[in-house]
Structure 1
Amino acid sequence: MTRPYPHWIVAPTIPARFVREMLAQLRLDNGARATLLGRCDLPREALRDGYRVAPLNYRALSRLAVGVGADEAFGFFARPVPPGSFEQLLRLLVHLPTLADAFDEAARFYKLFDDAPPWRLERGAKTARLLLTPRPGAQTDSVLWPHMLLLALWHSGSWLVGETLPLRRIVLPQALSSFTAQTRFLFGRQPGFGTQALLELPAANLQAPLMRRPAEAARFARRLLPAVIAPGPLASFEARLRGLLCAAEPFAGLSELEAAKALGISRQTLARRLAALGISFLGVRDELRRDLACTLLARGSVSVARLAERLGYSEPSAFQRAFKQWTGLPPGAYRGGRR
């Protein structure tokens, strides 16, 4: 009998566009790019739209990219940010009185590398906004940059005050609406779309005192990269559904009616509550299957036929068709490229 997978094991995979943009900023030739991908156990197909990258491979690539480029900002600023700069900044920020002061001071710090602050803080009576101010070009056209910067601000602010900052809204440019699922995973909530990327927080949280000491900065700096590519805190109802599907046998093998019954609600109520979160039952189930399949194929630890059986497909050919729809590659080519 196959051991059930807890929902936290099935980490969300990352779209190829994030990888492509990161490497584009390094301005490597084809040979150097292939070598860098190979060191992270990624094939050249990892740059194709539709390809999905497992979080461990993406984390390895991110760390190597910082080393190769000698730039913590992955080349998105006008000038490189030397490795170690973020840790040093944290050591300075912890001496400030409030979170608002820390956000303002950090923006001034990064202005040194880009001639203008990369964000600004707008404060109202009840709400505050961290608005990104991208330069025309790579920052404006990027999917990676607004996700990376907003996540870094949220996680760093949460670390400074010692608790997760409540997000009232996360807004991204309308052009990024096709990445809604990825944004939901990373922030743990449904994004909105507009003309400018921003985080909206309760204004009162900006007056929170900073709780950290300089000696803690190095550890957090090392943990930031894994944090920004990890799933955000999902709504409890969605987390319950994901856990239920991950524990099913075969994996994610429950029907919508079976899942509703296990949750103690009607099928209509299940559909309505998921729709309120901007998702669907079939969407959640397929994403779980896709991410587990990508992870196991990347490890090379299971045959295609066995994986199809584990995911509840009656025939390997049905799984192969589904996997090609998810990633643009048949499972054999996906695994072969990684090897």
Structure 2
Amino acid sequence: MSERTTSSSWAQGIVQALEAGGVDCRPLFHELGLDYAALQDPDARFPQDAMTRLWTRAVALSGDPAIGLNMAKVARPASFHVVGYALMSSRTLSEGFARLVRYQRIIAEGADLRFHPGLDGYTLSLTIHGDRLPPARQSAEASLAAALAFCRWLTGRDIAPQAVRLRGEPPADLTPYLQVFGIAPTFAADDYALVLSRADMERPLPTANAALAHLHDRFAGDYLARFVGSRVTHQTRQVLCRLLPQGEPRRETVANALHLSQRTLQRRLQEEGTGFQQLLDDTRRELAEQYLAQPELTLLEVAYLLGFADPSNFFRAFRRWFGVTPGEYRARG
């Protein structure tokens, strides 16, 4: 089974957040069989389930179920590996968050990010996957707290989200959440999400640097290619991108292209936290954004490039993905 991992950069941020909550992590690492010194190795990675155990033990030791919010105090570019610097050099937060989603697996494989515009602003939503252990809610809360704190640090402004959605029951004490997010989150939600205003997300960043952004894209792209090149999810996505202009790819065709049986393909994808239909849908959604940014392509051409034989199916899928029609999405620029 392919085990999900977390970068040493993000693990170091977790350790700093826990230590800010009074937890001594060095003996905890020893207890969990983890190498504390590896936190200083930029290429080291830690198992996802080990990070879940770390969160669980830290909550038990501190008695603070909101300890993940301490990530807001320690989030800096280095916490996000090379992705943090790519985000920092982006033209806007919107452009930076698109990079964050693209390179997320470098930071931690257990998280799936989605970032999309809506009627009221931009939504960054997060799903945390476990391996053998269910993920800790502190992990997701830390990720959202870090994302918002990083936005504030980059802009030098006290950005207030329009909404914060968290899974799980409301805590007895809302104070830490109000201090970090500035508003009361909605609990027992269907997902973990930050909703940020269009004005905040589209305002030029003071740290923007097109040349550096290009350089960081190259570094992050090279790292990601080396890191995920052996993953079946990555290989399947490449095959889907190649086959989609010919029509909707069949599972059998993709499996044959990878020299796998259909059953093995599905099992390997499940081990990596996805499935064939989910991956097909995600790939189409990502490509749709790229194609609509090319004004020379008509909406009909985009539908066919995404493998939709009937354009009406494309329009329905697009509205499900983004909450607007392709035409409305393109008109927003």
TM-score tier by shorter-chain length is: 0.3 to 0.5
Please give the TM-score of this superposition, normalised by the length of structure 1. Answer: 0.42
Please give the TM-score of this superposition, normalised by the length of structure 2. Answer: 0.43
The one of the two structures with greater contact order (alpha-carbon pairs below 8 A, sep at least 6) is: 1
